[in-house]
Structure 1
Amino acid sequence: MISVLVAGGVAMVVALLATPLFISFLVGRQYGQFIRQDGPTAHYTKRGTPTMGGVVIIAATLLGWGAAVLASGTLPSASAVLVLFLMTGLGVVGFLDDFIKISRQRSLGLSARWKIVGQGFVGITFAVLALQFPDATLRTPASTHISFIRDTGLDLGFAGATVGAILFVIWANFLITAWSNAVNLTDGLDGLATGSSLIVFGAYVIVCVWQFNQRCGLPDGDPARCYGTRDPLDMAVVAAAITGACFGFLWWNASPAKIFMGDTGSLALGGALAGLSIVTRTEVLAAIIGGLFVIIVMSDVIQIGFFKLTGKRVFKMAPLHHHFELSGWGEVTIVIRFWLIAGLFVSLGVGIFYAEWVTG
């Protein structure tokens, strides 16, 4: 368990100390945020604030995880490497998007086509490899079963291994796209996405540690209630590293933000959340634990859909946090209250996770 503490501690310290250095680097090169003209007018003062802070989050996560691997003296697991690959790969796509926005001083970065190509390449690679690398018990990082708190009876491989693999790749990429876009939409106010991510990934540390302590194969374990995940402790280490990285970055990203995470960070964190949900067999439960992200992305879907059908808007502006801004709420007030909502969803999700084990 020491590796979990090492991962979180090292990642937090790296993010806390490296972020101001990265801010100085970005300021020196005038890599500042471009503010959309149709957004809240209060955001105009943020123009020029350094962005691409997701680079620090990703780097701190990788260093925290690496330090934990060295401290434990074990080889990296396939599950951890795959989730970190997904996180870093989507972070690279986000970095290219951010860099184009900054260099061309516009609110649009990568074209939709190239963003889909980049995300698709990373997502498909992750999904294909996640069904490989069986351990001694023949468990692979992911399975073709749709999962809630553990794998359910709904198996995408009902028509054969090949069809199952194809359906799983489609399902996994739906989750990856949904979560990366959800976190991306949440990243609209100082510290909102970072703080919410910290709470959600902190919950996954608890979930993964519990799965490790109740994993299948233990001499005194209950075979009816054990968890058949491949590398639960390593996933706790990854979740702890991400939590620590978000903690250190939030010190500088909280209002008034000295730096934004940009698409580099939001796509990376969304990808990490999707990857964690897949390899820990909590794909549906993740929608409860990360309920704030779901609400925000649904507000955008509702706004667009309702406007196309009726020509009218449900909210003053979407995503949801901008609606409250235009309603007169202060930015800090919105962020704190949304953090509280994120905490309530996390409490509900973890409570459901534990209650399922208690009831058997």
Structure 2
Amino acid sequence: MKGILIAAAVAMVVSILFTPYLIRFFSRQGFGQEIREEGPQGHQSKRGTPTMGGVAIMIAMWAGYIGAHLANGLSAPRGEAPTASGLLVLLLATGLGIVGFFDDFIKIRKGRNLGLNKTGKMVGMLAVAVVFAILALQFADEHNFNPASVHLSFVRDISIISFGTIGFVVFCYLAVSAWSNAVNFTDGLDGLAGGSSALVFAIYVVISFWQFRYNCGVQDPTVGCYNVRDPLDIAVVAAAAMGACIGFLWWNAAPAKIFMGDTGSLALGGLVAGLSITSRTELLMVVVGGLFVVEMLSVTLQIAVFRTSRRRLFRMAPFHHHFELAGWAETTVIIRFWLLAGICAMFGLGLFYSEWLTATGG
């Protein structure tokens, strides 16, 4: 438990203190955000705001994770040392963050709102996801638990749905791509993606710590225990990510002094995917991260309806812009969407706990 608190505290402090240096550095370099011409006109005043703030989030996450393990001691008992699951999730987020960094950098250099082309971004995400998927099926511990499973999971593995190794690699890419794009779509208003992500990661601190308390790898497995390789370290990663997002939100909340850019949104999306896979909760994450899912669906539906009927379902997609164009103030949209994100996250936690009660006969 101490490691979780340290990870969150260190990450938050590093994010709060380091982000202003990025703001000044990126401002001097002219690394300003380009704004969509067809977007809400109120956003045009944000043109030139420093972007690529996701660098601060990634550095803070690593600082929180490393700081927690240094504080605990590398030889601490009961899985408190760095683990395969924790490192793989962080490396997945970092790899996608690097892809996002190149995307942001190209936007800035070419002075446009489009960075990497679709092929370039897809190849980058594919490479990162495939490496993660292959490694996640390795590193079995003494209980023969791997960081990931070839079975689809809700709260536990669904034994009748098995992908096989190749199928799991494909599924992993689809999950990583979907969550990265979902968080990226959500990152359209000041602090919206950062605040929503912090709520999701907070829930996963609770879920992963609960899995640690009732883990099948302990000496006396109990009814309803969880076959998760490194639940405590996953909780440390989630806590570090939560702290990093909260610290960044200090500067990213409206009116934003810096944007996370694709550097941050792709990294956070990768982290969401990695946490769901290593904690065996891929389907539960659809509920916990429900706001991200709805944002992505709004874009998908907008495209589908327009192509079939030549009419728009929303004034603009992602649909947080729909409410802006309907006359809502930006801060009103942000706060209400944070509330929706919190409702989804708490509902997901409720489903997790009710499943445990059912499994234990409670």
TM-score class, shorter-chain normalisation, is over 0.9
Question: Which letter does structure 1 place at the counterpart of 2:64?
Answer: G
Matched ranges for 1:235-274 at <5 A: 235-274=234-273
**Partner Cα separation in structure 1 for residue 187 and residue 160 of structure 2:** 34
Matched ranges for 1:116-265 at <5 A: 116-157=122-163, 164-222=164-222, 224-265=223-264
Question: Which letter does structure 1 place at the counterpart of 2:61?
Answer: T
**Partner Cα separation in structure 1 for residue 318 and residue 110 of structure 2:** 25
SS in 2 for 1:284: helix
**Partner Cα separation in structure 1 for residue 169 and residue 213 of structure 2:** 30
Identity within the alignment, %: 56
**Partner Cα separation in structure 2 for residue 22 and residue 107 of structure 1:** 21
Deviation, 1:150, is 1.0
Deviation, 1:218, is 3.2
**Partner Cα separation in structure 2 for residue 87 and residue 285 of structure 1:** 20
Deviation, 1:217, is 3.5
Aligned length: 353
Q: CA offsets, 1:41-92, max 9 Å, x none?
A: 1100000000000000000000110111111223420001110110000000
Q: 1:266 to 1:102 in 2, by over 3 A?
A: same
Name the structure 2 match of 1:293.
292
Name the structure 1 match of 2:315.
316
Question: Which letter does structure 2 place at the counterpart of 1:318?
Answer: A
SS in 2 for 1:146: strand
Deviation, 1:221, is 4.1
- Do residues 89 (structure 1) and 88 (structure 2) align? no
Q: CA offsets, 1:218-256, max 9 Å, x none?
A: 34541x300000000000000000000000000000000
Name the structure 2 match of 1:326.
325
The normalised TM-score by structure 2 is 0.96
Matched ranges for 1:53-72 at <5 A: 53-72=53-72
Q: 1:353 to 1:137 in 2, by over 3 A?
A: same
The normalised TM-score by structure 1 is 0.97
**Partner Cα separation in structure 2 for residue 3 and residue 106 of structure 1:** 43
SS in 1 for 2:160: strand
CA contact (8 A) 2:143 2:217 kept: no
Deviation, 1:111, is 1.2
SS in 2 for 1:170: helix
**Partner Cα separation in structure 1 for residue 111 and residue 274 of structure 2:** 33
Q: 1:63 to 1:260 in 2, by over 3 A?
A: same
SS in 2 for 1:312: coil
**Partner Cα separation in structure 1 for residue 50 and residue 209 of structure 2:** 36
CA contact (8 A) 2:89 2:275 kept: yes
**Partner Cα separation in structure 1 for residue 292 and residue 161 of structure 2:** 27
Question: Which letter does structure 2 place at the counterpart of 1:333?
Answer: T
**Partner Cα separation in structure 2 for residue 341 and residue 111 of structure 1:** 32
Matched ranges for 1:27-106 at <5 A: 27-74=27-74, 75-106=81-112
Q: CA offsets, 1:137-189, max 9 Å, x none?
A: 111000100000111123425xxxxxx11000001111100000000000000
CA contact (8 A) 2:107 2:115 kept: yes
SS in 2 for 1:152: strand
Deviation, 1:277, is 0.1
Question: Which letter does structure 2 place at the counterpart of 1:62?
Answer: W
Q: CA offsets, 1:295-340, max 9 Å, x none?
A: 1100000000011011111100000100000000000000000000
**Partner Cα separation in structure 1 for residue 176 and residue 324 of structure 2:** 29
Name the structure 1 match of 2:280.
281
Question: Which letter does structure 1 place at the counterpart of 2:99?
Answer: V
**Partner Cα separation in structure 2 for residue 189 and residue 108 of structure 1:** 18
Q: 1:271 to 1:308 in 2, by over 3 A?
A: same
Question: Which letter does structure 2 place at the counterpart of 1:10?
Answer: V
**Partner Cα separation in structure 2 for residue 324 and residue 217 of structure 1:** 48
SS in 2 for 1:108: coil
Name the structure 2 match of 1:358.
357
Q: 1:76 to 1:219 in 2, by over 3 A?
A: closer
Question: Which letter does structure 2 place at the counterpart of 1:143?
Answer: S
Question: Which letter does structure 2 place at the counterpart of 1:311?
Answer: R
